[in-house]
């Protein structure tokens, strides 16, 4: 009973951490950037490169927390991430130019990796039988941070505070939330890989080497990368793009926050749907919605297109968080899930080219529309790839038994 209670406390702690990460990194930076661009006299290519560093660091370092979790445990991994997050937010708070901005965003990406989805997906997938439902809950609560972030920024601006105060708030919050996660998750016992059951008890268990040799794994990686590219690029430039299309600052903030609210609802629905619907179908749905969102955002020519963008982007993004994780686990099982998820995140770093390319396109053409249309085409290609995807041949691992907390 005591261990079962601890599992739910850890769930709350991890949700709270993801809430903070969603509010203070990818979903806030794009709104703070116009103020920082003005303060440092940066070009939009420079501003977009900071976003690229954030996404690149988050992906390239994703194998590190997988290693520290196996060797040092979840608690020490989260402690390491907390220190890095504090340093990243602190650097943005004290930033004096482009170089400190770059270093700050890089540290945030590393801290996100150590405190975000890599340890959380591992802990929750290993501790609950209804993995789809609990992951949907995790991403739902966490994504509410994407609702809070833009509203908190707009509220702090309305109250007369500048962008430095905004980063200071997150620096303090990262220490408080990080300590809570470290103290709780560090006490939770996670079963070794060989003792963990396959996802849902239906998939055969694969080793890392076996999974890397399949086309299916790389298609899943491509789908996740496409979703991530649309996510990071939209959050990097949607705020500025909407204002350039005649949308008032307050309304732009509201639209972005509402899309994040739809995203949170989408994650909850995806978690529930994942118990009865195939992960491949959910992944196709998310890719389709995100492709439509990118195309309509490129136009942004009226209330109808903005409404379609808001719903499609939020819904597609919400489903993508759950669907890609579940697709990976349903195809390759739970045994190597931590390493495979980390590898997927590492290769999806290429999605970080979206903001850098988008900034360069903006400087050359005067508009962000080109990058959004390009991302819509990318989504269409990956949609077709997932549509023809079939489950890889089964490879059973001996001695695998199911253990999980209800």
> pLDDT, tens digit, for every residue of 349-362?
787 778 778 888 88
Q: Write the CB contacts of 283 (distance below 8 Å, at least 6 apart in sequence).
A: 220, 223, 319, 320, 323, 324, 327, 386
Read off the pLDDT of each residue in 266-283 and give the average, rounded to a whole number: 88
pLDDT at 204: 58
**Domains contained in the chain, number:** 1
98 domain-assigned: yes
Residue 31, domain member (yes or no): yes
In whole angstroms, give the CA distance from residue 136 to residue 139. 5
**pLDDT given for residue 404 in this prediction:** 39
In a domain, 406, yes or no: no
CATH code of the domain in which 33 resides: 1.20.1250.20
Instruction: Using DSSP, state whether 287 is helix, strand or coil.
Output: helix
Range of the domain at 253: 2-387
Across the range 249-263, mean pLDDT stands at: 83
pLDDT-based confidence at 283, cuts 50/70/90?
A: very high
Report how many helices (DSSP H) and strands (DSSP E) the chain contains, helices first: 17, 0
DSSP-derived 3-state class of residue 336? coil
Q: Is residue 403 part of a domain?
A: no
- Residue 324 located in a structural domain: yes
pLDDT of the residue at 398? 45
8 A C-beta contact, residue 215 and residue 345: no
Residue 63 to residues 16, 113, 154, 395, Cα–Cα distance (Å) = 23, 9, 35, 24
pLDDT category of residue 108 using cuts at 50, 70 and 90: very high
Let me know if residue 394 belongs to a domain: no
Strand partners, 128: 405
Contact 296, 323 (CB under 8 A): no
pLDDT in tens, 184-239: 988 877 765 555 544 444 445 788 889 899 999 999 999 999 998 898 888 778 88
Q: Is residue 402 part of a domain?
A: no
């Amino acid at each position: 009973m005591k261990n079962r209670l601890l599992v739910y406390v850890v769930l709350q702690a991890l949700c709270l951490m993801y809430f903070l990460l969603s509010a203070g990194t990818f979903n806030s930076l794009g709104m703070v950037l116009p103020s920082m661009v003005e303060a440092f006299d940066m070009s939009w290519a420079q501003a977009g490169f900071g976003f690229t560093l954030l996404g690149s660091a988050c992906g390239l370092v994703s194998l590190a927390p997988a290693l520290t979790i196996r060797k040092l445990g979840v608690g020490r991994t989260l402690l390491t991430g907390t220190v890095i997050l504090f340093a990243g937010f602190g650097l943005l708070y004290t930033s004096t130019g482009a170089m400190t901005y770059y270093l700050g965003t890089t540290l945030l990406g590393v801290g996100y990796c150590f405190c975000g989805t890599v340890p959380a997906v591992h802990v929750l997938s290993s501790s609950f039988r209804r993995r789809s439902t609990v992951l949907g809950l995790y991403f739902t609560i966490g994504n509410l941070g994407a609702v809070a972030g833009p509203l908190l920024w707009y509220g702090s601006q309305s109250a007369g505070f500048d962008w430095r105060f905004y980063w200071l708030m997150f620096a303090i919050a990262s220490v408080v939330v990080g300590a809570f996660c470290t103290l709780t998750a560090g006490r939770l016992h996670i079963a070794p890989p060989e003792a963990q059951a396959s996802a849902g008890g239906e998939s055969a268990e694969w080793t890392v080497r076996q999974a890397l040799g399949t086309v299916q794994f790389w298609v899943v990686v491509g789908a996740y990368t496409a979703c991530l590219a649309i996510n990071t690029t939209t959050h990097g430039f949607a705020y500025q793009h909407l204002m350039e299309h005649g949308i008032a600052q307050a309304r732009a903030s509201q639209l972005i926050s509402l899309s994040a609210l739809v995203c949170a609802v989408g994650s909850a629905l995806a978690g529930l749907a994942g118990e009865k619907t195939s992960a491949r179908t959910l992944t196709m749905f998310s890719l389709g919605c995100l492709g439509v969102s990118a195309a309509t955002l490129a136009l942004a020519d009226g209330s109808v297109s903005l409404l379609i963008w808001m719903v499609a982007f939020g819904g597609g993004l919400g489903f993508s968080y759950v669907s890609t994780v579940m697709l990976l686990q349903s195809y390759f099982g739970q045994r190597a899930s931590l390493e495979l998820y980390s590898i997927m995140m590492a290769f999806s770093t290429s999605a970080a080219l979206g903001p850098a390319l988008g900034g360069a396109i903006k400087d050359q053409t005067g508009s962000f529309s080109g990058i959004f249309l390009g991302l819509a085409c990318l989504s269409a290609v990956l949609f077709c790839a997932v549509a023809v995807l079939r489950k890889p041949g089964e490879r059973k691992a001996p001695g695998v038994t199911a253990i999980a907390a209800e």
